[in-house]
Amino acid sequence: MLVLGIESSCDETGAAIVKDGRYLLANVVASQTEIHERYGGVVPEVASRQQLAAILPVIETALQQAHCRWEDIETVAATYGPGLAGSLLVGLTVGKTLALARDLPFLGVNHLEAHIYANWLRPTPDAATPDADLQSGANETECAYLPGDPLFPLICLVVSGAHSELVLMRDHTDYLLLGRTRDDAAGEAFDKVARILGLGYPGGPAIQRAARLAEEELRQQRLPVRNPYRLPRAWLRGTYDFSFSGLKTAMLHLAEGLVADQQSGRPLPSGGRQVSRYTTMGSEAARRGQVHIGLLAAGFQEAIVDVLAVKTRMAAQEYHVRQVLLAGGVAANVALRARLEEELTPLGIRLQYPPIEFCTDNAAMVAAAAFFHRLHGEEHDLDLDVEPNLSLPFRQE
């Protein structure tokens, strides 16, 4: 079954054509990152206008790339929530209109289910251009990507820009909520902390890069690559819930201290022999305090990854699953992938995550999720409206 998927929940406009929920014929994404970079985050009003400008060209390009005619498409699917109302409206309206015009079944897709179903997509040989940021050994962990359908029951860690949830899936489209964030989402924490550190937007890739560069710098200086910044972890023991706002506040205080030290000419920063060795190493980067920013970024990344990985492993053990999936933008994080691998491999639990280009927002994952709903004959009426606060359809137990 060929599904045309449309994604417009935030600041990416996507169209994709996917066969049987797995095989990619085309995947086109127009990103607005460069526009929102200026503001340090997504401006909803701007995002919806850009969606409007991009949507039709993106869909046309996808059809061309797939060498598809309209007659080949069997279902139209579009994200209807969660996300920004104005942005969602663009893709949903276009999707419903196309379905009506072509007399095709229409399916509204939950964006979070789509992130999960990115794990069913097979990588395409020519789309596998590695992110420049992930060169230099970092994409070694990409090898852990095993093509093939995930096996139930499984634990899925959904970590995206606005959500952080630990979910048990016993079957297709069957979700049991085990835990969720009580404040910031993981991606949101990455974005806010990157802003605090002056690393730009989007924060996840920026923090990953800064952390890696700082660690490389230390290696070059033959200094120990042990991070002097030890940041707090909110374990919330006895639950699978997360909390990242305390970590964010700790980062704010540390960063403020760093700036104050720089301004007053005090050595950077206080906190042990190892740190003072870094400050006396005299390199250009160290003088500018960049290594310290990078080490702060690394300390933050380590703290967030630690909690996510340990709680996910505990859930996998409690529910006796053989497989763990990662989903959402933060699933692109190399440290998270590596740390989870470390937790799970000794237990014989298989970790799977989508290739980088399917972790952040795209329409291929929307088409994939739609396929598994269509298998049960599901479709939506054309009066389906956007649901900006939609959550995963959790089962009650």
Which residues lie near Fe ion (CB under 5 A)?
Answer: 160, 361
Residue 290 exposed, middle or buried by CB count within 10 Å (0-12, 13-18, 19+): middle
Q: Which 332-391 residues touch ligand ATP, going by CB under 6 A?
A: 332-333, 360-361
Buried-state track 83-115, b at ≥16 Cβ within 10 A, e below 16: bbbbbbbbbbbbbbebbeeeebbbbbbbbbbbb
Check whether 391 is labelled as a binding-site residue.
Answer: no
Residue 330 interacting with ligand ATP (CB under 6 A): yes
The correct pick among 10, 17, 316, 364 for binding ligand ATP (CB under 6 A) is: 10
Using CB atoms within 10 Å of the CB of residue 145, give its burial: 0 to 12 exposed, 13 to 18 middle, 19+ buried.
middle
> For ligand ATP, which is the closer residue by CB, 5 or 204?
204
- Tell the smallest beta-carbon distance from residue 329 to Fe ion (Å): 6
Beta strands in 172-232, from DSSP E residues, in sequence order: 174-180
From 7, 8, 9, 11, residue interacting with Mg ion (rule: CB under 5 A): 11
- Residue 113 or 361: the one with the smaller Cβ distance to Fe ion is 361
The response to whether 162 counts as a known ligand-binding position is yes
111 contacts ligand ATP (rule: CB under 6 A): yes
What is the CB neighbour count within 10 angstroms for residue 237? 6
The token pair at 96 is 């419903």
* Integer Cα distance of 392 and 137 in angstroms: 35
| Residue 158: its H or E element | strand 154-159
Q: Least distance (Å) from ligand ATP to the CB of residue 88? A: 10
DSSP strand pairing (75-81 vs 350-352)? unpaired
Q: Does 191 bind ligand ATP (CB under 6 A)?
A: yes
The helix-helix angle for 186-196 and 203-220 (nearest 10°) equals 60
Given Mg ion, ligand ATP, Fe ion, none, residue 241, with its beta carbon under 5 to 8 Å by kind, binds none
67 annotated binding-site participant: no
Binding site for substrate, residues? 158-162, 191, 204, 333
Binding residues for ligand ATP (CB under 6 A): 9-10, 82-83, 111, 115, 160-163, 187, 190-191, 202-205, 208, 328-330, 332-333, 360-361
Binding residues for Mg ion (CB under 5 A): 10-12
Binding site, residues? 111, 115, 158-162, 191, 204, 333, 361
